[in-house]
Chains A and B, each alone.
Chain A
Amino acid sequence: MARLVPRAGDAVFANVERVNAELFTLTYGAIVRQLLTDFEEVEEVNKQLDQMGYNIGIRLIDEFLAKANVTRCVDFKETAEVIAKVGFKMFLGVTASVTNWDADSTECSLILEDNPLVDFVELPETCHGLYYCNVLCGVIRGALEMVSMKTEVRWVRDMLRGDDAYELRLKLLEQVPEEYPYKDEE
Protein backbone atom coordinates (compact mmCIF):
# COMPACT_ATOMS: atom_id res chain seq x y z
CA MET A 1 0.00 0.00 0.00
CA ALA A 2 1.14 3.48 -0.73
CA ARG A 3 2.47 5.25 2.30
CA LEU A 4 3.09 8.81 1.45
CA VAL A 5 6.62 9.71 2.20
CA PRO A 6 6.49 13.33 3.30
CA ARG A 7 7.39 15.61 0.42
CA ALA A 8 7.26 12.72 -2.05
CA GLY A 9 5.85 15.12 -4.61
CA ASP A 10 8.80 17.49 -4.23
CA ALA A 11 11.25 14.73 -5.01
CA VAL A 12 9.36 13.71 -8.13
CA PHE A 13 8.99 17.29 -9.30
CA ALA A 14 12.70 17.88 -8.82
CA ASN A 15 13.42 14.99 -11.15
CA VAL A 16 11.14 15.76 -14.05
CA GLU A 17 11.96 18.13 -16.87
CA ARG A 18 10.34 21.47 -16.35
CA VAL A 19 9.30 24.50 -18.34
CA ASN A 20 8.58 28.09 -17.42
CA ALA A 21 5.16 28.39 -15.79
CA GLU A 22 4.40 31.60 -17.67
CA LEU A 23 4.62 29.83 -21.01
CA PHE A 24 2.13 27.32 -19.62
CA THR A 25 -0.15 30.00 -18.22
CA LEU A 26 -0.15 32.07 -21.39
CA THR A 27 -0.66 29.05 -23.63
CA TYR A 28 -3.62 27.99 -21.53
CA GLY A 29 -4.96 31.52 -21.82
CA ALA A 30 -4.62 31.30 -25.60
CA ILE A 31 -6.66 28.10 -25.57
CA VAL A 32 -9.42 29.64 -23.48
CA ARG A 33 -9.53 32.70 -25.75
CA GLN A 34 -9.76 30.49 -28.81
CA LEU A 35 -12.63 28.52 -27.29
CA LEU A 36 -14.47 31.70 -26.35
CA THR A 37 -14.16 32.95 -29.93
CA ASP A 38 -15.24 29.63 -31.40
CA PHE A 39 -18.19 28.84 -29.13
CA GLU A 40 -19.35 32.23 -27.89
CA GLU A 41 -21.38 30.55 -25.12
CA VAL A 42 -19.48 30.24 -21.83
CA GLU A 43 -21.40 27.05 -20.98
CA GLU A 44 -20.04 25.42 -24.12
CA VAL A 45 -16.54 26.63 -23.28
CA ASN A 46 -16.80 25.10 -19.80
CA LYS A 47 -17.82 21.81 -21.39
CA GLN A 48 -15.02 21.92 -23.94
CA LEU A 49 -12.38 22.72 -21.30
CA ASP A 50 -13.60 19.79 -19.23
CA GLN A 51 -13.43 17.53 -22.29
CA MET A 52 -9.88 18.65 -23.07
CA GLY A 53 -8.93 17.99 -19.47
CA TYR A 54 -10.47 14.55 -19.67
CA ASN A 55 -8.40 13.75 -22.77
CA ILE A 56 -5.30 14.90 -20.92
CA GLY A 57 -6.22 12.96 -17.78
CA ILE A 58 -6.54 9.61 -19.49
CA ARG A 59 -3.02 10.02 -20.90
CA LEU A 60 -1.49 11.76 -17.93
CA ILE A 61 -2.26 8.90 -15.53
CA ASP A 62 0.27 6.65 -17.30
CA GLU A 63 2.96 9.28 -16.91
CA PHE A 64 1.97 9.67 -13.28
CA LEU A 65 2.07 5.95 -12.44
CA ALA A 66 5.36 5.51 -14.26
CA LYS A 67 7.15 8.36 -12.52
CA ALA A 68 5.47 9.02 -9.19
CA ASN A 69 6.52 5.86 -7.45
CA VAL A 70 3.20 5.30 -5.71
CA THR A 71 1.39 2.00 -5.41
CA ARG A 72 -2.30 1.28 -5.36
CA CYS A 73 -4.27 3.50 -3.04
CA VAL A 74 -6.26 1.62 -0.39
CA ASP A 75 -9.20 3.98 -0.31
CA PHE A 76 -10.58 7.18 -1.71
CA LYS A 77 -9.09 9.14 1.17
CA GLU A 78 -5.62 8.10 0.19
CA THR A 79 -6.38 8.75 -3.46
CA ALA A 80 -7.33 12.32 -2.69
CA GLU A 81 -4.15 12.84 -0.69
CA VAL A 82 -2.02 11.47 -3.50
CA ILE A 83 -3.69 13.78 -6.03
CA ALA A 84 -3.22 16.80 -3.78
CA LYS A 85 0.31 16.14 -2.59
CA VAL A 86 1.93 14.20 -5.43
CA GLY A 87 -0.18 14.74 -8.54
CA PHE A 88 -0.49 18.50 -8.37
CA LYS A 89 3.13 18.84 -7.33
CA MET A 90 4.47 16.59 -10.04
CA PHE A 91 2.74 18.36 -12.90
CA LEU A 92 2.08 21.90 -11.78
CA GLY A 93 4.65 22.34 -9.03
CA VAL A 94 1.98 23.26 -6.47
CA THR A 95 0.19 21.37 -3.73
CA ALA A 96 -3.40 21.34 -2.59
CA SER A 97 -4.92 20.51 0.75
CA VAL A 98 -7.72 18.02 1.25
CA THR A 99 -10.57 19.03 3.53
CA ASN A 100 -14.30 18.84 4.17
CA TRP A 101 -14.78 15.09 4.02
CA ASP A 102 -18.36 13.92 4.17
CA ALA A 103 -19.46 11.21 6.64
CA ASP A 104 -18.91 8.22 4.36
CA SER A 105 -15.61 9.44 2.89
CA THR A 106 -16.77 9.68 -0.69
CA GLU A 107 -16.67 13.42 -1.07
CA CYS A 108 -13.98 15.96 -0.29
CA SER A 109 -12.59 19.32 -1.29
CA LEU A 110 -9.22 20.13 -2.75
CA ILE A 111 -8.12 23.63 -1.86
CA LEU A 112 -5.47 24.95 -4.21
CA GLU A 113 -2.99 27.19 -2.49
CA ASP A 114 -1.36 28.34 -5.70
CA ASN A 115 -2.88 28.07 -9.11
CA PRO A 116 -0.50 28.54 -12.03
CA LEU A 117 -3.36 28.62 -14.53
CA VAL A 118 -4.71 31.99 -13.41
CA ASP A 119 -1.70 34.29 -13.43
CA PHE A 120 -2.36 37.47 -15.44
CA VAL A 121 -6.04 36.56 -15.70
CA GLU A 122 -9.01 38.75 -15.08
CA LEU A 123 -12.47 37.64 -16.13
CA PRO A 124 -14.36 40.27 -18.09
CA GLU A 125 -18.05 40.97 -17.40
CA THR A 126 -19.08 38.93 -20.40
CA CYS A 127 -17.50 35.74 -19.04
CA HIS A 128 -19.25 35.55 -15.71
CA GLY A 129 -20.36 31.95 -16.05
CA LEU A 130 -16.91 30.76 -17.09
CA TYR A 131 -15.03 28.23 -15.00
CA TYR A 132 -11.66 29.36 -16.23
CA CYS A 133 -9.75 26.42 -14.77
CA ASN A 134 -12.30 23.79 -15.73
CA VAL A 135 -9.59 21.82 -17.49
CA LEU A 136 -8.43 20.61 -14.06
CA CYS A 137 -11.79 18.98 -13.35
CA GLY A 138 -11.50 17.01 -16.55
CA VAL A 139 -7.93 15.99 -15.84
CA ILE A 140 -8.78 14.54 -12.43
CA ARG A 141 -11.92 12.84 -13.69
CA GLY A 142 -10.11 11.30 -16.66
CA ALA A 143 -7.11 10.16 -14.66
CA LEU A 144 -9.24 8.54 -11.94
CA GLU A 145 -11.42 6.82 -14.49
CA MET A 146 -8.32 5.03 -15.74
CA VAL A 147 -7.77 3.62 -12.26
CA SER A 148 -11.37 2.41 -12.06
CA MET A 149 -12.91 5.29 -10.15
CA LYS A 150 -15.85 7.16 -11.56
CA THR A 151 -15.90 10.61 -10.08
CA GLU A 152 -17.59 13.94 -10.40
CA VAL A 153 -15.35 16.99 -10.11
CA ARG A 154 -16.54 20.57 -10.04
CA TRP A 155 -15.49 24.02 -8.88
CA VAL A 156 -17.21 25.34 -5.78
CA ARG A 157 -15.00 28.34 -5.13
CA ASP A 158 -12.99 30.30 -7.64
CA MET A 159 -11.03 33.46 -6.87
CA LEU A 160 -11.51 34.71 -10.42
CA ARG A 161 -15.22 34.79 -9.59
CA GLY A 162 -14.60 36.70 -6.38
CA ASP A 163 -14.42 33.80 -3.91
CA ASP A 164 -11.66 33.63 -1.32
CA ALA A 165 -10.02 30.40 -2.49
CA TYR A 166 -9.79 27.86 -5.30
CA GLU A 167 -11.82 24.87 -4.20
CA LEU A 168 -12.54 21.75 -6.20
CA ARG A 169 -15.21 19.36 -4.98
CA LEU A 170 -14.35 15.74 -5.62
CA LYS A 171 -17.08 13.10 -5.40
CA LEU A 172 -16.62 9.37 -5.80
CA LEU A 173 -19.59 8.00 -7.73
CA GLU A 174 -18.57 4.37 -8.00
CA GLN A 175 -15.57 2.16 -7.94
CA VAL A 176 -15.67 -0.03 -11.00
CA PRO A 177 -14.41 -3.51 -10.14
CA GLU A 178 -11.69 -4.67 -12.47
CA GLU A 179 -12.78 -7.49 -14.68
CA TYR A 180 -10.89 -10.60 -15.56
CA PRO A 181 -8.27 -10.67 -17.05
CA TYR A 182 -6.73 -8.45 -14.43
CA LYS A 183 -4.41 -5.79 -15.67
CA ASP A 184 -1.73 -6.64 -13.17
CA GLU A 185 -0.93 -9.41 -10.75
CA GLU A 186 -1.30 -7.66 -7.43
Chain B
Amino acid sequence: MIGVGRPKQYANVLEKPLGKGKQEVSLNAYSFLFSELVQYNQTRVDNIAELERRLEDAGYGVGLRVLELLCHREKGNRREIRLLGILSFVHSTVWKSLFGKVADSLEKGTEHEDEYMISERELLVNRFISVPKDMGNFNCGAFVAGIVKGVLDGAGFPAVVTAHFVPVEGQPRPRTTILIKFAEEVLQREARLG
Protein backbone atom coordinates (compact mmCIF):
# COMPACT_ATOMS: atom_id res chain seq x y z
CA MET B 1 0.00 0.00 0.00
CA ILE B 2 1.09 3.54 -0.52
CA GLY B 3 2.17 5.40 2.54
CA VAL B 4 2.54 2.44 4.88
CA GLY B 5 6.29 2.80 4.89
CA ARG B 6 8.34 -0.17 3.85
CA PRO B 7 6.35 -2.35 1.53
CA LYS B 8 5.24 -5.58 3.03
CA GLN B 9 4.76 -8.68 0.98
CA TYR B 10 1.34 -10.18 0.77
CA ALA B 11 0.59 -13.53 -0.75
CA ASN B 12 -2.47 -12.12 -2.39
CA VAL B 13 -3.69 -8.68 -3.35
CA LEU B 14 -6.93 -9.15 -1.45
CA GLU B 15 -5.09 -9.50 1.84
CA LYS B 16 -3.67 -6.02 1.59
CA PRO B 17 -5.23 -3.36 3.75
CA LEU B 18 -7.52 -1.12 1.73
CA GLY B 19 -5.95 2.16 2.76
CA LYS B 20 -7.75 5.43 3.22
CA GLY B 21 -7.24 6.57 -0.34
CA LYS B 22 -5.79 9.89 0.71
CA GLN B 23 -2.52 9.50 -1.15
CA GLU B 24 -1.87 11.93 -3.97
CA VAL B 25 0.26 12.29 -7.07
CA SER B 26 0.85 15.49 -8.98
CA LEU B 27 -1.76 16.65 -11.45
CA ASN B 28 1.02 16.83 -14.05
CA ALA B 29 1.86 13.18 -13.65
CA TYR B 30 -1.78 12.33 -14.20
CA SER B 31 -2.17 14.66 -17.16
CA PHE B 32 0.91 13.26 -18.88
CA LEU B 33 -0.35 9.74 -18.39
CA PHE B 34 -3.83 10.56 -19.59
CA SER B 35 -2.47 12.32 -22.64
CA GLU B 36 -0.50 9.18 -23.50
CA LEU B 37 -3.68 7.14 -23.17
CA VAL B 38 -5.44 9.44 -25.64
CA GLN B 39 -2.52 9.58 -28.06
CA TYR B 40 -2.01 5.85 -28.00
CA ASN B 41 -5.66 5.23 -28.73
CA GLN B 42 -5.54 7.77 -31.51
CA THR B 43 -3.02 5.58 -33.32
CA ARG B 44 -5.37 2.59 -33.19
CA VAL B 45 -8.52 4.11 -34.68
CA ASP B 46 -9.65 5.76 -37.87
CA ASN B 47 -12.59 7.78 -36.65
CA ILE B 48 -13.70 9.87 -33.70
CA ALA B 49 -16.52 7.58 -32.62
CA GLU B 50 -14.09 4.69 -32.39
CA LEU B 51 -11.65 6.79 -30.36
CA GLU B 52 -14.38 7.77 -27.91
CA ARG B 53 -15.44 4.17 -27.65
CA ARG B 54 -11.91 3.08 -26.77
CA LEU B 55 -11.55 5.80 -24.13
CA GLU B 56 -14.91 4.78 -22.73
CA ASP B 57 -13.72 1.17 -22.56
CA ALA B 58 -10.65 2.22 -20.62
CA GLY B 59 -12.82 4.24 -18.23
CA TYR B 60 -15.27 1.38 -17.85
CA GLY B 61 -12.62 -0.81 -16.24
CA VAL B 62 -11.78 2.02 -13.85
CA GLY B 63 -15.47 2.44 -12.97
CA LEU B 64 -15.98 -1.22 -12.08
CA ARG B 65 -13.02 -1.07 -9.71
CA VAL B 66 -13.98 2.26 -8.19
CA LEU B 67 -17.43 0.92 -7.36
CA GLU B 68 -15.99 -2.08 -5.58
CA LEU B 69 -13.37 -0.03 -3.77
CA LEU B 70 -15.73 2.69 -2.56
CA CYS B 71 -18.48 0.29 -1.51
CA HIS B 72 -16.00 -1.45 0.75
CA ARG B 73 -14.40 1.69 2.06
CA GLU B 74 -17.20 4.23 2.33
CA LYS B 75 -20.42 2.30 2.48
CA GLY B 76 -19.69 -0.55 4.89
CA ASN B 77 -19.83 -3.20 2.15
CA ARG B 78 -23.25 -2.12 0.93
CA ARG B 79 -24.19 -0.72 -2.41
CA GLU B 80 -27.09 1.40 -3.57
CA ILE B 81 -30.09 -0.33 -5.08
CA ARG B 82 -32.28 2.70 -5.81
CA LEU B 83 -31.89 4.96 -8.83
CA LEU B 84 -31.48 8.21 -6.95
CA GLY B 85 -29.21 6.55 -4.45
CA ILE B 86 -26.78 5.32 -7.07
CA LEU B 87 -26.89 8.64 -8.94
CA SER B 88 -26.01 10.59 -5.85
CA PHE B 89 -23.31 7.99 -5.08
CA VAL B 90 -21.74 8.77 -8.47
CA HIS B 91 -22.24 12.51 -8.18
CA SER B 92 -20.90 12.76 -4.64
CA THR B 93 -18.88 9.80 -3.41
CA VAL B 94 -17.26 8.74 -6.67
CA TRP B 95 -16.58 12.28 -7.83
CA LYS B 96 -15.16 13.32 -4.51
CA SER B 97 -12.87 10.37 -4.33
CA LEU B 98 -11.57 10.61 -7.90
CA PHE B 99 -11.60 14.34 -8.53
CA GLY B 100 -11.44 15.75 -5.02
CA LYS B 101 -14.81 17.50 -5.23
CA VAL B 102 -18.49 16.79 -5.66
CA ALA B 103 -19.69 17.22 -9.28
CA ASP B 104 -21.06 20.68 -10.07
CA SER B 105 -24.58 19.49 -10.75
CA LEU B 106 -26.85 16.49 -11.09
CA GLU B 107 -30.04 17.04 -13.05
CA LYS B 108 -32.90 15.04 -14.41
CA GLY B 109 -33.58 15.39 -18.12
CA THR B 110 -36.73 17.40 -18.81
CA GLU B 111 -37.69 15.66 -22.03
CA HIS B 112 -37.03 12.05 -21.22
CA GLU B 113 -37.84 10.18 -18.04
CA ASP B 114 -34.79 7.93 -18.33
CA GLU B 115 -32.16 10.66 -18.74
CA TYR B 116 -29.97 12.23 -16.08
CA MET B 117 -27.06 14.61 -16.42
CA ILE B 118 -23.97 15.23 -14.37
CA SER B 119 -22.24 18.47 -15.30
CA GLU B 120 -18.80 19.73 -14.54
CA ARG B 121 -17.54 23.18 -15.40
CA GLU B 122 -13.94 22.06 -15.80
CA LEU B 123 -13.61 18.32 -16.03
CA LEU B 124 -10.19 17.15 -14.88
CA VAL B 125 -9.41 15.19 -18.01
CA ASN B 126 -10.43 18.04 -20.31
CA ARG B 127 -8.34 20.61 -18.54
CA PHE B 128 -5.26 20.48 -20.75
CA ILE B 129 -6.97 19.19 -23.85
CA SER B 130 -7.78 21.35 -26.82
CA VAL B 131 -9.69 19.53 -29.49
CA PRO B 132 -8.52 20.39 -33.02
CA LYS B 133 -11.23 21.68 -35.35
CA ASP B 134 -11.11 18.66 -37.62
CA MET B 135 -12.00 16.39 -34.74
CA GLY B 136 -15.46 17.82 -34.38
CA ASN B 137 -17.27 16.98 -31.18
CA PHE B 138 -14.63 14.69 -29.78
CA ASN B 139 -14.64 14.86 -25.99
CA CYS B 140 -12.04 13.27 -23.72
CA GLY B 141 -14.80 13.19 -21.16
CA ALA B 142 -15.64 9.89 -22.86
CA PHE B 143 -13.17 8.40 -20.41
CA VAL B 144 -15.14 9.77 -17.46
CA ALA B 145 -18.39 8.68 -19.14
CA GLY B 146 -16.84 5.22 -19.21
CA ILE B 147 -16.07 5.42 -15.49
CA VAL B 148 -19.69 6.38 -14.77
CA LYS B 149 -20.95 3.58 -17.00
CA GLY B 150 -18.66 1.12 -15.22
CA VAL B 151 -19.95 2.17 -11.80
CA LEU B 152 -23.60 2.01 -12.88
CA ASP B 153 -23.24 -1.28 -14.73
CA GLY B 154 -21.38 -2.84 -11.85
CA ALA B 155 -24.13 -1.79 -9.47
CA GLY B 156 -26.84 -3.27 -11.69
CA PHE B 157 -28.01 -0.10 -13.41
CA PRO B 158 -27.08 -0.59 -17.08
CA ALA B 159 -27.10 2.69 -18.97
CA VAL B 160 -25.75 4.40 -22.05
CA VAL B 161 -23.41 7.15 -20.91
CA THR B 162 -22.00 9.85 -23.17
CA ALA B 163 -20.01 13.05 -22.69
CA HIS B 164 -20.90 16.34 -24.37
CA PHE B 165 -19.61 19.88 -24.44
CA VAL B 166 -22.20 22.48 -23.55
CA PRO B 167 -21.30 26.13 -24.16
CA VAL B 168 -21.81 28.41 -21.17
CA GLU B 169 -22.66 32.03 -21.69
CA GLY B 170 -19.90 34.37 -20.61
CA GLN B 171 -17.38 31.55 -20.25
CA PRO B 172 -14.58 30.94 -22.72
CA ARG B 173 -14.71 27.19 -22.24
CA PRO B 174 -17.74 24.94 -22.45
CA ARG B 175 -18.73 22.76 -19.56
CA THR B 176 -18.85 18.99 -19.90
CA THR B 177 -22.10 17.17 -19.37
CA ILE B 178 -22.19 13.45 -18.80
CA LEU B 179 -25.52 12.22 -20.13
CA ILE B 180 -26.85 9.05 -18.55
CA LYS B 181 -29.65 7.19 -20.30
CA PHE B 182 -30.81 4.24 -18.24
CA ALA B 183 -31.93 0.96 -19.76
CA GLU B 184 -35.66 0.29 -19.74
CA GLU B 185 -35.39 -2.54 -17.22
CA VAL B 186 -33.85 -0.16 -14.68
CA LEU B 187 -36.85 2.17 -14.83
CA GLN B 188 -39.30 -0.71 -14.68
CA ARG B 189 -37.61 -2.09 -11.59
CA GLU B 190 -37.54 1.34 -10.01
CA ALA B 191 -41.29 1.73 -10.66
CA ARG B 192 -41.94 -1.66 -9.07
CA LEU B 193 -39.99 -0.69 -5.97
CA GLY B 194 -42.29 2.30 -5.70
A interface residue numbers (CB < 8 A to B): 13, 16-24, 26-31, 33-35, 38, 48, 52, 55-56, 59-60, 63, 90-94, 113-116, 119-122, 135, 159, 164-166
Contact = CB atoms under 8 A, between A and B. Distances in A.
A55 B36 contact: yes
B146 to A, nearest CB: 9
A26 B2 contact: no
Interface of B: 1-3, 5-7, 9, 12-13, 19, 21, 23-30, 32-34, 36-37, 39-41, 44, 54, 57-59, 61-62, 65-66, 69, 97-100, 124
Contacts of A56: 32-33, 36
Contacts of B44: 38
The 10 closest A-B pairs by CB, nearest first: A122-B13, A21-B23, A18-B24, A17-B27, A91-B29, A30-B58, A26-B62, A56-B32, A52-B36, A23-B98
A23 B1 CA distance: 15
Given A19-B100, A19-B124, A119-B1, A13 B26 contact: yes
A86 B57 CA distance: 35
Contacts of B36: 31, 52, 55-56
Contacts of B2: 21, 94, 114-116, 119
A31 B40 contact: yes
A42 B23 CA distance: 30
